[in-house]
Structure 1
Amino acid sequence: MAADTGQKDMPERKRLLLVVPGWASLVSSIALARLFTAPTLRIEDFALIFASSILAGSLAGDLENAMIGFISTLILSTIIIGLVLVSPAILGLTGPLYEQVAEREAAIGAFQAIFPFTLVLVLAGGIVGSGLAERFAFD
């Protein structure tokens, strides 16, 4: 009989490695789709983010994986949103006078897209999804 070392088995880690990029790209694409057409996210965007977080939480499995995925998703989503919004300045399409303004606006846009509502909804959706996965044994 093998002793439990508290280590996650490898399929759980591989599952998390697949869930986190998908979760982050869903959250980022929902936020970016709205930010290119309006200055802020709307209720429909928040509902989509919550629904995608429930799906990702259920795919992550247990609550520990959902929390690790939540933190990783927020970091990765913020980086993706920031890079996409600052890409015109990085590529030199803004000109030398507007480059610093574009970079500042990209940082502000990324921060406003994630905090506070998206952060709370991603966390809540991950918890609900992992609870559903544990309750109904989605393995």
Structure 2
Amino acid sequence: MTDETEQRDSDGTILDSLELLKAKKVTLLQEMRTKNASWKRDLEKIENAITALEDVMTTKGSPSSASGKRKRKGKKNSISSKIRDFAIAELTASDRPLDRSEILEKIVDAGIVIQTRDPAKFLSRVLWRTKELINDGSGYWLASRPRK
């Protein structure tokens, strides 16, 4: 091979490498935009859940209703309290009602352990007794947030 041929081959390899790098850059930029959009949606859901939980905490701190009935104070760290707060946060982040099995799956995925013989039944009782939630037939939903 001549020096001129070697130079062309070398330039061709460099051009190929340059094109590959440019293509990879475009791909990475697209992935970055997609992930940023996904992270932004996740962050909005978390912010909505935080707001809802803060609203719940404000509601819990308000005086009892005019009926004169004493409010039952639950233990802050009880499993029922954890489930209730978790369900409210998940429903706040959701755009649709969630049924019992979906909520139970999310609870298990989050590492919350329900140590009863029938976790689904226990969950149902907690959700049913939670004043901030309603069951509209298609699943549990926030009483304070009307369906669209």
TM-score (ref. length: structure 2): 0.30
**Larger Cα-atom Rg:** 2
Which is richer in helix?
Answer: 1
TM-score (ref. length: structure 1): 0.31
Which is richer in strand?
Answer: 2
Structure number with greater CO (CA < 8 Å, separation at least 6) is 1
